[in-house]
Every structure is written in C-alpha cells, then in structure tokens.
Amino acid sequence: MSQPLPCPLKVEINEVAPRDGLQIEARFVPTEEKIRWIDALSATGLRRIEATSFTSPKAIPTLRDAADVMTAIQRREGVDMTVLVPNMKGTERALACQVDEINLVMSASKSHGLVNLHMTPEQSLEQFATILNVSKNSGVFINASLSTTFGCPFEGEVPEARVLELIAKLIALGIQGVTLCDTTGMANPAQVKRLCEVVLRRWPETPFTLHFHNTRGMGLANALAAWQAGIKRFDASLGGMGGCPFAPGATGNVCTEDLVHMFETMGVDTGVDLDALLAVASTLPDLIGHDVPGQVVKAGKSTRRYSMPAAHV
C-alpha cells in the first residue's frame, strides 16, 4: 500500500450556477441581470466561474444569450471565465468571446451521451480532437467534463475501467484538465475516494475537478471524500441550484456557500469571502423566482450566536 496523498490546505472553487444552475430553470433570467450577478460573484474571491454554455439555443433556451453575457461581464485578474461547450460550433462561438477556458462536455455512458448531446462518447472524443486542433494556438485552457462518471440514470453503474479508459483517451488527445461529474447524485463517498485516489496517482500532472450534485443528500460527503483523497478543485453552484435537463431526476449541485463554509470551518483555505458570497446567495430567490436548497444562508454561519432566553439569564 502506498502512502495516502495529503489533504490539501487550499482548494479552488469553480462557481457553476450561471451555467449548471440556469440551464434547468424554467424562467429566462434577463441578460442584464445575469451580467450583474456574475460581476457580483467574481468579486467574492472565487477562482473560476462557469459563466454560460455555448450550446444549441433549442436545447438550452435559458442560455441563448451566451455571447452577450460573455462579452459584457467584468474580467478580473485571478478569476478565470470558463464556458461549457459540446461541439465545434460551440467552440467557435466561445473563442470569439475571449473565454479563458473551454469546458468540453461528454458523457461516460452511451445512453446519457445520446440523450444529452446526441453523441456517443466516441463521437464526442472525435469532436474534441478537431476542437483541440482548432484551439491549439488560442491560449485557451481546454478542460473536459465527464458526465455520469459515477453512475448513469439510464444504464446504472458505469464501470470504473470504462471511466479510466475515457480519461486516458482525453489526456492522450491533449485535454489539459478533467472534471469528473456525478450528474444525478449517484456517487457515494467510498466510490469517490477510490476513484480520486486512482486518477491522482495515475495522472499526477492533470488538474482534476470534482463536480457533485446533491440529489441524494451526499454532495458534501462526496466533496469531503474527494478532498481526503487529495482533490483540490471543486465545482459548486450558488444556492445549490442546477441540474442537467436531459438527465431524469437531476437536481442541484453541491451548494457553493455550504461547501465554502465546510472547508473554511475545517481550516481549509478556499480564497472566498464567505460573507460576500452569502450576500450574493441571498439575492437568488429574487433573481430566479423561487427558494433554493442552500442551508448556511438560512441558518447563518456556525459562528452565529443567539441571546439566552430572558428566563435563563
């Protein structure tokens, strides 16, 4: 048995609510409001923001204003703006908007790939090869997100060997970073720890990000298991918004402010100003027109104190 990797003292949070959060909303958030919201998020110390997706407006109508959003948001030193992209057309649109990163998306399972992207994993890999060729002199970081890594709502278990085979293919193509996504909250902490340990040992030079949904209440437990295995980068969504509209039963991501609160109370540096983040989170119900699952915004931080009832003072 080799020694476990140390638990990181610093983590990076990628805020995905403007993409993963809005893609499943029924209401179109006006472009101006999206821009103000992303500008507020980029002032909180988040390392990276997934600002939108360059997908078909028929598939994801709530993000049909991707180019307008991407070109109008403030660009701050130290905050990378990334966008989700499924294909060549999305890549061209993203490159025209001076994104810092392109987050290519494919599925680990054939059925979710066909339903979500109309592509098998192999067809996605073919697209990615062309995309890497076209973008190689752009200076844009090319990440790939692997949906249904921990289980598929149609097929069930996705064998770990298949996941490793796809990661190996992505890295061989020249993909610079890989995000392992638990699209419908099927992962459990033991499974997460095992896979994270394997990938970190096998590809120590590749930045791995973990993307959890809290569909079955295991989001924070899974993030903790990944961190214990040595993972430093996490996707999370403000308020716990989010979900893939083409994955039955999908619900929100692990909540950013709850994740930041967990890490900060453990003494792990997220670089995020939690009070500033909570202030933005408190505006969400007005922005999207309904309540969100985030808990710390309602309960307050664990440092919150109440006055003793008068009878006991």
Out of 14, 23, 52, 251, which residue is the one contacting ligand COA (CB under 6 A)? Answer: 23
- Contact between 246 and ligand COA per CB under 6 A: yes
Active site residue 152: no
> Is position 20 an interface residue for Zn ion (rule: CB under 5 A)?
yes
- Residues 163 and 192: beta-carbon distance below 8 Å: no
Active-site choice (97, 152, 181, 244) = 244
Distance CA 209, CA 50 (A): 13
Q: Check binding of 122 to ligand COA (CB under 6 A).
A: no
Provide the residue count of the chain.
313
Residues binding Zn ion: number (CB under 5 A)? 1
- CA distances for 31 relative to 38, 169, 231, angstroms: 11, 37, 34
Locus of tokens 């309602």: 298
Who's near 201: CB < 8 A, 6+ residues apart? 2, 5
Type of residue found at 116: N
Q: Which is nearer to ligand COA, 58 or 312 (CB)?
A: 58
Give the residue with the Cβ less far from ligand COA, 243 or 294.
243
> Strand runs (DSSP E) across 75-201, as ranges?
80-85, 101-107, 141-147, 177-182
CA distance 163 to 181: 11
**Residue 267 Cβ, how far from ligand COA at the closest point, in Å?**
33
Among 10, 27, 75, 89, binds ligand COA (CB under 6 A): 89
Q: Which residue of 62, 103, 109, 147 would you call a contact of ligand COA, by CB under 6 A?
A: 147
Residues contributing to the site for ligand COA (CB under 6 A):
23, 53-56, 58-60, 86-87, 89-90, 93, 105, 116-118, 147, 244, 246
- Which active-site residues does the annotation give? 244
